[in-house]
Amino acid sequence: MELITLQMDLGRQKETVDYIKSFVDFAKKNGYNSILYYMESAVRTEDTAFLDPEKTFTLDEMAEIVAYTEGQGLLAIPGFENLAHMDQFLAKEEYAHLAECRNGQNSRYYVKGNGSCACTSQPDFYPLIDKYVEDVMALFPCKYVHMGMDEIFDFATCPRCQKRMRDEGKTKDDLFVEHILHTHALMQRHGKTMMMWDDIFEQMDVLDRLPRDIILTNWNYAFVGEEPRGHWLNRAKRDWFAYYESLGFRYMFCTMAHQTATTFNTDSFTAYAKRYKPMGALMTCWCHATDFYLGGYPHIALAGREWSEGRTYTREERRALFTEILGSEGAARLLLSIQLPYFFSYFRNNIAEYTEENNYILNGLRLQLEEALEQLMGYYEAAEGLGKDILADSYAFMHHCYTTVKLAEIGTEIFDCYFRASKDFSLPFRKLDTLAAESRRVKEMLDLVWVRQRPGIVSTDGQYEAKYAAIPARYAAVKESALRNAGCAVLIADLMLHCGYGVPRLEILVKYKGEEKQTPVFSGGLKPGIHTMDAGSSFAMYFAIPEGEIEYATVSVYGEGVLFLENLRYRKGNEKKVAATVERVRGSVKDAENVLHNDTRFACLGNDDAVALFNHYELDRDRHTVRITFKDQMDYKIK
């Protein structure tokens, strides 16, 4: 392959120039011939002197980084964004007027403010952004330039763009093609070859309208089987590499450097790519404001060597390579035995108010991680030098995953106290205290790494400090809620999510008899823990609610995608009520009557048309609602 590339995300976290040089040395040692410096707004130019010096580099500093990279025999590839992921620019007064969602809401993630997507219909957009790209690009002798263009969820949603489409008879697809062609022409004027991410072509099928000298970079951070799965709602299916080759495009496949050296993504994507003719491979590294690149070093080294040598390492060769990097064969064996998903987040703000029921998958992973963390701590304590910092970074991510699955267990135990009308929360509280103590230990470990690897560097927007400062407050809120809710009733929803790549939101309201208004139970994003493992299945959610006689409850889905509602039931101690009647109130609701069966049949609520939602962002505000009344469980008959 022509390019074996390792990426560095300077747009989300500044690093010292010395560390970047060491990163280049590590890449060269392990078979990479190029570094992609993903920058967004990471470099201050004369026109952007307003950018924060603590987050950005001077032109001279970036020139030094480029010169060192090229001097070591690696290409330094600049990476920009000139559409989405421009939030650092758009947050500044000087560029705020360029935002699609100025003073509004981001259509996919409901984030208030200016969002991350810029508006190409603003008259001064191209003069400002093109000039920035030209000023920074001039530091790079490399012929390749990556122009981003991924995740453009809010593109062409502002009134100016909407009016332009109406007046000119154009579609969002047309505006995107125009933007790509403008960017391509900019690159050609400077003798550069344009690269870009390809994920949005799942929702805008316009590749056949683009110049064939654009290099497409296909990123996929999950398991890749017979063909790459789509990134967004519906997970559009296409044999992408076969399609690129049929159109005459060159392309690269892009994997993710994993904090615990998990290799399933790189292994499976490389196997798929071998059936075709990619011009290169790219190991991406993202968003290290709260951690480091170090945990990914064994994985990065393995991928670089396999790609550059054109072969797959044996189990013994992998173990030897990991041992070389970590300084411990035991640690190497352990990390190679653990396979964790990268996007592992816990979506429950307060597990005493609502929680996901513990289940087989989460429980099994929890037991595995408990043992692994104990062993890894021993290897960390015995390690020295760089190996110690690598193990600290790996331990921190593994503990984050463990906390996620442990909270599912603790939340279930708190709700079990509600079921039993018990006010004794001592067991779950002790477990919370243990997690808090472990998190403090993780922070102490990472603080030492920060001093060694990032002297004089601050975490972007204080994300590192905020992450660990929030943990004790979050656990204190759980305890306060549990004590306050003691003796409460519980509303239980059995749901199913077939695709974890949408952003469906759930809203539940309860109308108590004698009350004029409905009582809010929950409103917000909701995904099960298993979605991070690329799995879709039934899951149960518990919601603590006031005791009382319920007249009815309404369940609404909004946002991007669908949720399948299997049933809704009410429980107070051993008193249990199940659905008696169900009716559609508004929106898209299919098979509502299935809620009346206390089994796995389901009603479908929501909108799962990815293209329609992308083109008409206002659709994700629609509520898709059913109203449910209850009856005693003894009156339920299996049908």
CATH of the domain at 622: 2.60.60
The answer to whether position 231 is within a domain reads yes
What CATH code is carried by the domain that includes residue 291?
3.20.20.80
Express as a percent the part of the chain with pLDDT over 90.
81
State whether 358 and 411 are in the same domain. Answer: yes
State whether 423 and 503 are in the same domain. Answer: no
Q: How confident is the model at residue 497 (pLDDT cuts 50, 70, 90)?
A: confident
The answer to whether position 108 is within a domain reads no
Nearest to 157 by CA among 616, 621, 619, 620: 616
State whether 531 and 500 are in the same domain. Answer: yes
pLDDT digits (tens, 9 = 90+) for 512-542: 999 999 999 999 888 888 777 777 778 899 9
pLDDT digits (tens, 9 = 90+) for 541-589: 999 999 999 999 999 999 888 999 999 999 998 889 999 999 999 999 9
Handedness of CA 16, 18, 24, 26 (dihedral sign): negative
Give me the pLDDT at residue 258, please.
87
The answer to whether position 103 is within a domain reads no
Q: Helices H, strands E: what count in the chain?
A: 16, 20
Please name the helix (run of DSSP H) or strand (run of DSSP E) that holds residue 482, with its range, or none: helix 463-485
End position of a domain, from candidates 485, 505, 531: 485
Give me the pLDDT at residue 369, please.
95
Instruction: List the structure tokens of 326.
Output: 């970590």
pLDDT digits (tens, 9 = 90+) for 588-610: 999 999 999 988 899 999 998 88
Q: Do the Cβ atoms of 35 and 24 come closer than 8 Å?
A: yes
8-state DSSP, 357: P
pLDDT digits (tens, 9 = 90+) for 448-483: 999 999 999 999 999 999 999 999 999 999 999 999
| CA–CA separation, 557 and 503 (whole Å) | 10
pLDDT digits (tens, 9 = 90+) for 398-415: 999 999 899 999 999 999
100 phi-psi bin (left φ>0, alpha ψ -120 to 50, beta other)? alpha
| CA–CA separation, 116 and 102 (whole Å) | 10
8-state DSSP, 43: B
Q: How confident is the model at residue 439 (pLDDT cuts 50, 70, 90)?
A: very high
Give me the pLDDT at residue 345, please.
63
Beta bridge partners of 626: 555, 584
Q: Report in angstroms the alpha-carbon separations of 559 from 104, 146, 492, 530.
A: 16, 31, 22, 20
State whether 208 and 292 are in the same domain. Answer: yes
Average pLDDT, the chain: 93
End position of a domain, from candidates 276, 308, 335: 335
End position of a domain, from candidates 485, 510, 541: 485
The answer to whether position 248 is within a domain reads yes
State whether 469 and 496 are in the same domain. Answer: no
| CA–CA separation, 279 and 224 (whole Å) | 19
State whether 582 and 435 are in the same domain. Answer: no
The answer to whether position 91 is within a domain reads no
Give me the pLDDT at residue 533, please.
77
| pTM over 0.85, yes/no | yes
Which structural domain range is residue 148 located in? 3-82+132-153+176-335
State whether 500 and 553 are in the same domain. Answer: yes
Q: How confident is the model at residue 372 (pLDDT cuts 50, 70, 90)?
A: very high
State whether 493 and 628 are in the same domain. Answer: yes
Q: How confident is the model at residue 347 (pLDDT cuts 50, 70, 90)?
A: low
Give me the pLDDT at residue 534, please.
76
Domain count, the chain: 3
Please name the helix (run of DSSP H) or strand (run of DSSP E) that holds residue 541, with its range, or none: strand 537-545
Q: Report in angstroms the alpha-carbon separations of 634 from 233, 422, 550, 577, 589.
A: 40, 25, 17, 8, 28
- Does 111 score more than 70 pLDDT? no
> Are β-strands 193-197 and 215-219 bridged in parallel, bridged antiparallel, or unpaired?
parallel
Give me the pLDDT at residue 344, please.
65
The answer to whether position 127 is within a domain reads no
State whether 553 and 524 are in the same domain. Answer: yes
State whether 200 and 60 are in the same domain. Answer: yes
State whether 292 and 425 are in the same domain. Answer: no
In three state form, how does the secondary structure of 182-228 look? HHHHHHHHCCCEEEEECHHHHCCCCHHHCCCCCEEEEECCCCCCCCC
State whether 593 and 447 are in the same domain. Answer: no
